[in-house]
Copies of this chain bind each other. A is one copy, B any other.
Amino acid sequence: MSQLPNQPAQRPVPTSADVARLAGVSRATVSYVLNNSPTVRISESTRRRVREAATELGYVPHAAARSLRAGHTRMVLLPTVAFPTGPLHHRFFHELESGLRRLDYTVVQYGSTGLDPDDAPRVWAELRPVAVIAPGTIPLTPQGTGLLRRSGAKAVITLGPRPVPGAHALVMDQREVGSCAVGLLLERGRRRIGVVMPEESGLALFAEPRLTGARQAAQPHGARIEPLPLRYEEESAARLADRWRTLDLDAVFAYNDEYAMLLMRALQDAGIDVPRETAVVGADDLMLGRLLRPRLSTVRMELATAQPLADLVDRLVRHPGCAPEHHDLLRVGAVGRESA
């Protein structure tokens, strides 16, 4: 039953020289034929012989050798880090990837979690990418950027909550989420606003700017902002709910819909009326929030479509040395439902 590998596993990988030999032509001719080189005319019969030889040997060109010879690659490097990333990011990355592929770039995600930020750029540079889109979680220093550029990267782009000075930046400004949520609560007349801060590590990167945004929105109205540490566990929520009345709050922005559902349930179990006594706002506009009673108010988030960004990368590659550009990717909007 098991298709045991009959092939002598150590047969060497066929090269263009092997194809040339089998087809009875030179390596140059093989290269011309297989690349459909327009600068040279090859007879149809030769073409066929070459192609047949290639198929017969299972010849596959060696990308590294090719780009070594060419002196450049079309690789766009996307360093990735372990990340509590939702469907939003997922879709965005996928779109960006296909957009770039359409422009004939080879997109490669390179797991970079735990890489020392100081030598991450070095490691990336070894691959000689033509562009790098680095996540904000790996702080990119001017030295790092310089190193990448010197090793051939035409475009070095950061992707994160804040732009990085001196580099192109795709910005997902999380502060807007916080200010949008608080804006909704202020409209509803709330002035004593808790802001849930998840204790799960990794979320701080989102939570901190959301808190900042909340503060910025509250300030002009003289509203009070109270950070509320919370773990994503029922006991943690219950404990917070237990001491709720001592906090003297009339509203809470719960970081996102999931934390909001958790906290809302705990508040209700503790006899706190939502929204009468405390209004609750989440973020992400999950379908599930609509199913709760009261229906959960939320902040809807949308990322820019990725095709224009693929075009942007292409432009930066073709015209390196432009002044750093910042692009805001995040669009937010409050969705007021029954909970606030």
Enumerate chain B residues within 8 angstroms of A14, measured Cβ to Cβ: 150
| A220: Cβ under 8 A from any B Cβ | no
Interface size class of A (residues with CB under 8 A): 35 or more
B126, A97: Cβ atoms closer than 8 Å: no
Check: A288 CB closer than 8 A to any chain B CB. Answer: yes
Name the one of B5, B82, B290, B324 contacting A149, with C-beta atoms under 8 angstroms.
B5
Chain B CB within 8 A of A166 CB: yes
Q: Is the CB of A142 within 8 A of B60?
A: no
CB of A126 within 8 A of CB of B90, answer no
Q: Is the CB of A87 within 8 A of B87?
A: no
Nearest neighbor of A115 in chain B, beta-carbon distance: B101
Q: Tell me, yes or no, whether A122 is within 8 Å of chain B by CB.
A: yes
A77 to B248, CA, bound (A): 54
Cα A126 to Cα B62 in complex, Å, equals 5
Residues from chain B with Cβ under 8 Å of A265 in the complex? 291
Name A1-30 residues within 8 Å CB distance of B. 1-5, 7, 9, 11, 13-14
- Residues of B within 8 Å of A107, CB to CB, are 110-111
Q: Quick check: is A38 within 8 A (CB to CB) of the other chain?
A: no
Minimum distance in angstroms from A130 CB to a CB of chain B: 12
Set B3, B98, B101, B128: member contacting A142, Cβ < 8 A: B3
Number of chain copies forming the complex: 2
Asked if A64 is at the interface (CB within 8 A of a chain B CB), the reply is yes
Q: Is the CB of A261 within 8 A of B288?
A: yes
Q: How far is the CA of A93 from the CA of B73 in the complex (A)?
A: 27
Q: Mark A24-45, 1 if CB is under 8 A from B, else 0.
A: 0000000000000000000000
Query: For residue A122, which residues in chain B have a CB less than 8 angstroms away from its CB?
Result: 60
Q: Which residues of B contact A324 (CB under 8 A)?
A: 2-3
Please report the C-alpha to C-alpha distance between residue A234 and residue B286 in the assembled complex, in whole angstroms: 12
Output the least CB separation between A105 and chain B (Å): 10
- Across-interface contacts of A287 in B (CB, < 8 A): 232-234, 258, 262
CA distance A320 to B2 in the complex (A): 15
* Apart from A9-B320, A80-B109: 4 A-B pairs, beta carbons within 8 A: A1-B165, A2-B166, A82-B91, A94-B111
11 residue pairs bridging A and B, Cβ less than 8 Å apart: A2-B165, A2-B324, A3-B142, A7-B150, A9-B149, A9-B320, A13-B150, A60-B125, A60-B151, A107-B110, A109-B110
